[in-house]
Structures are given as structure tokens and as C-alpha cells.
Homo-oligomer: A and B are copies of this chain.
Amino acid sequence: MDKIRIGIFGFGKTGKVVANEFLKNSLFKLEWVVRKCHDDHQKYASRLLGHEFDAGEIFSAEDMSDDFFLERPVDMLVDFSDSTGVYLYKKAAVAGIPIITAISKYEQEELDLLKFFTKHTAVLYSPNMSLGINVVMVAAQILQKIAPHADIEIVEEHFKGKKEVSGTAKRIASVLNLDAEEHINSIRVGAIVGRHEIIFGMPHQTIRLSHESLDRAAFGQGAIFAVKFLIGKPPGMYTMETIIAEMFRQNIPVY
């Protein structure tokens, strides 16, 4: 089988780890990486990440001529850059190349652009690509339906330097119809990579669903999962949550 050709936008802390996951997986060929700045220009992401082969040539946003996507064709775009990345791949989207984007926060204009893309291609958008957190999120929504009177609180723990409230925690609050201000408890200490816990309190029992990220490669693994899912899918908007919800449906146990 031919390898799936991948183009990545973004080569920051998370982008690098994601690129590395694609480089390590023999199903994929990392064609190129586009980053905003000129650092490491035309070097190979593979070399920078310690591999002994050439893959993932690095371009800057300014390199993106009209024919960029024609000259360097890929089967899927993966965006771990920032909210402005979306403006760089209009042409690819209209040409039908599927897109996976993990940007944590878009403005309305960018969301509208993504929506426009979905007329032409499959777009999967999820601010948190980790499989586990999406499983926890879907389970929490079902539990809330089964136990509608349970009190629910969200605790998120991250390293001291993380300034804002976790976007994932906000997303959890949103799908559970909880006021984020009131129900998210943010712990900032030391070097915790990321932990989310959803606590359900009932009159005689407590349920806790918790997810802990051990390193950022969880996002790369999620992106790989998403790429595999998106191949061959018709145009439209997809999210990790819809994929996971569908997997729940298909895997309800039968006794």
C-alpha cells in the first residue's frame, strides 16, 4: 500500500512531537512542515528530531506560492499551528484535501472559513486530539443523562506556567452545560503535563472519571487516529467527539 502523505502546519512544542509520531509510523510519509518563522528553513524535520533519514522539509509561511500544494502534493493536512494557519491552506481545501486541525481557539471569521471548507472536503476539528480525553468527555455526557441529579465538578491540573484555564476543561464544561467559571477548578503546580478529572457526586456514591497526559505524544497518537478515520470520508465537519460517540454506539456491550 502507498504511504499516506502528510503535510503539517506548525512546528512548536506540540507540532514537533506530532511530526515525530508521523515520522515513526511506517504508514505515513511526512512530506513537509510549514511554520511561520524562518527557523530551520529547508532543513528536514526528521533530522532535527534525531532520525537518520530525510523527511519533512521545513518551509516558512512566506514560501507558500500559488503552486505549493501542486508541487508538493499530500493526502492530508494536519494543523497544529495557530488560529491563523487556516488562511494558508484555502487552495488545498477547495481542491479536496482533507484537513485535521487542533487549534485551541478560533475567532468567528476562521470558524466560518472552516465551514466553507467543509463544502469541498472533510474537516476534522478538535482542540484536544488525545483519544482518552474524548472518551472521558463522551462517558461524562452519558453519565450526566443517566444520573441527571448528580452534582458535577471539573478539576484540571497543569504545570505552574500555564496561564489560562484549560481549553479542554472549558469544552467539558460546555458539553455538560456547566458554567465554566463556577465549576472548573484549576490547579497550577510544578510540572504536571495535564490532568482532567470530572467528579459526579450523588447522595450515596461518588464517581470520578480522570484522564492524565503523560507527554504530548498523546496528541500525535490522536492525530494519527484521526487521519486514519478521515481517509475516504465525504466532505463535512467532523470532531473527535463525534468519532468517539460513534465508537461508543458500536461498542455498547451485549450480555
User: With an 8 A cutoff between CB atoms, is A206 at the interface?
Assistant: yes
Residues on B with beta carbons closer than 8 Å to the beta carbon of A252: 138, 142, 245, 248-249
Specify which chain B residues have a CB less than 8 angstroms from the CB of A150 in the assembled complex: 189-190
Tell me how far the C-beta of A150 lies from the nearest C-beta in chain B, rounded to whole angstroms.
Answer: 7
Count of A residues near B, CB < 8 Å? 66
B146 contacts A251, CB within 8 Å? yes
Find chain B residues with CB under 8 A from A63 CB.
none
> What chain B residues lie within 8 Å of A157 (beta carbons)?
199
- 1/0 contact trace for A182-214 toward B, CB 8 Å? 000111111111000001111111111111111
Please tell me if A153 contacts chain B, counting CB pairs below 8 Å. yes
A202 touches B208 (CB 8 A): no
- Over the window 106-129 of chain A, the binary record of Cβ atoms lying under 8 Å from chain B Cβ atoms (1 yes, 0 no) is 000000000000000000000000
A254 at the interface (CB under 8 A from B): yes
A-B contact pairs, 12 of them (CB 8 A): A131-B205, A132-B206, A142-B251, A146-B247, A151-B188, A191-B202, A204-B213, A204-B221, A205-B212, A206-B212, A207-B209, A207-B211
Known A192-B201, A203-B217; 16 more pairs at CB < 8 Å: A131-B146, A132-B202, A132-B205, A136-B207, A138-B252, A142-B251, A145-B251, A150-B190, A151-B188, A155-B187, A190-B204, A191-B202, A204-B217, A207-B212, A239-B255, A245-B253
